Amino acid sequence: MNHTSEVSPDAVLDLMEAFRRSQALFTAVNLRIFERLKESPKSLQELASQALLPIVPLEQLLTACQALGLVSRSNGTYQNTLLTSTYLTESSPSNFLGYIRFSDMAVYRLWSHLTDAVREGSNRWDQVFGGRHNFFENVYADPSSLREFIGGMHGLGVITSPNLVSAFDLSRFSHFVDLGGATGHLAIAACRAWPQLKATVYDLAPVCAIAEEHIAQAGLRDSVKTWVGDFFIDPWPEADLFALGRILHDWNEERIHFLLKKCFERLPQRGGLLICEKLLNEGKDGPVSAALQSLNMLVITEGRERTATEYKALLQAAGFGQVEAKKTGKYLDVILAVKD
């Protein structure tokens, strides 16, 4: 029976062509189109002259960007939309540019070998780049790529962290330690939301140096400090509230158990652990962002995304008694585990 008249192919066509949208975005960022338009609206000819690009293909790219809502055109000139000004220009504190460039340079290439990742159950670093086959070895090997990647994560953190630290009542805690805290966005948001808190950003030395810049910009040097270390091998600072934000999904079960057990052992009674990750639905039927992020972890790291029930089982195996999960409806969800 022919069902083509009953079922639209639009969803399949959209999936098949989705990479075209990301490549249009990556190309516009790489050619600094949005940076040039940030300075002032420009005609096609002005932009082509400034960017040293041929007019016809540039117009094709701008047409795509306009259709995607990234630029607008009025009276023969192009300008950035509010969306682009907020997330795609270097001067915006919420920009995603570092993560976009990382996605273009690395993630897109790794995803092109998803079939092999599923067949072999391992990430694709060695297949794509050779030599170093660990995500962290690759990113941390080059200071400029590290700063760009961490900067891209900062843009996401600025948006999500205030919701995460407000999801539970943290008023009884006094010292918040964010393990692998990157730029300090979660610690900064926590101290702003809960003034009684002092916070420490725990990360490797190059990352702590970047975090100190953001802490200073936030005016929170008295409340937020940094602590250099590798949380798998080095000592941890004292805390009554630890946080693991987008950390556990990077690792296998053995490493996760190590981190959760160490959190439990280091906490005092009634101490807490805040976990910030994308949560899969209990039926593992979505949401789409979490399901695709789980595949992202497959091609990039050794981890995956999990349901709240799966995290609860891991936390209880490490000793935690009370575990509560909340879906925020935003980019990340949050779990609070308490040591009884």
- Rounded distance between C-alpha atoms, residue 193 and residue 170, angstroms: 9
- pLDDT at position 130 is 84
Which pLDDT belongs to residue 150?
Answer: 85
- Higher pLDDT pick, 142 / 277: 277
Rounded-to-integer distance, Cα 274 and Cα 276, Å:
7
The confidence score (pLDDT) of residue 129 equals: 87
Mean pLDDT, residues 7-31 = 97
What was the pLDDT predicted at 151? 79
Quickly state the pLDDT bin for 145 (edges 50, 70, 90): confident
pLDDT of residue 147: 82
pLDDT at residue 250, as a whole number: 95
pLDDT at 134: 67
Question: CA–CA separation, 21 vs 61, rounded Å?
Answer: 11
Sign of CA dihedral 157, 159, 165, 167: negative
Q: Which of 3, 133, 249, 257 is catalytic?
A: 249
Residue 313 is predicted with a pLDDT of 98
Name the architecture of domain 135-338. Answer: 3-Layer(aba) Sandwich (3.40)
State in Å, rounded, how far the first CA of the chain is from the last one.
Answer: 61
Least confident of 46-50, 95-99, 284-288, 323-327: 95-99
Would you call 185 a catalytic residue per the annotation? no
Pinpoint the residues of the chain covered by CATH 3.40.50.150.
135-338
Where does the pLDDT of residue 94 fall: very low under 50, low under 70, confident under 90, or very high at 90 and above? confident
Across the chain, mean pLDDT equals: 94
- Among 8-17, 63-72, 96-105, where is mean pLDDT lowest? 96-105
Q: Which of 89-93, 129-133, 324-328 has the highest mean pLDDT?
A: 324-328
Q: For the segment 218-265, what is each residue's pLDDT rounded down to a tens digit?
A: 999 999 999 999 999 999 999 999 999 999 999 999 999 999 999 999
Rounded Cα gap, residues 88 and 71, in angstroms: 11
pLDDT score for 170? 98
Residue ranges of E strands in the chain: 42-43, 71-74, 77-80, 175-179, 198-203, 224-228, 241-245, 272-277, 279-280, 306-307, 322-326, 333-338
Per DSSP, what are the bridge partners of residue 74?
77
186: pLDDT strictly greater than 90: yes
**The pLDDT of residue 2:** 60
The pairing of strands 77-80 and 71-74 is: antiparallel
Question: How confident is the model at residue 9, as a pLDDT?
Answer: 96
- Kindly report the CATH class assigned to 10-87: mainly alpha
Residue 50 clears pLDDT 60, i.e. is over it: yes
Q: What is the pTM of this model?
A: 0.91
- What is the mean pLDDT of the segment spanning 28-57? 98
The 8-class DSSP code of residue 205 comes to H
Residue 1 has pLDDT above 60, yes or no: no
pLDDT for residue 274 is more than 80: yes
Q: What is the mean pLDDT of residues 1-24?
A: 88
pLDDT over 90 percentage in the chain: 85
In the chain, list all ranges with CATH 1.10.10.10.
10-87
Instruction: Tell me, letter by letter, the H, E, C secondary structure of 164-195.
Output: HHCCCCCCCCCEEEEECCCCCHHHHHHHHHCC
pLDDT of residue 131: 67
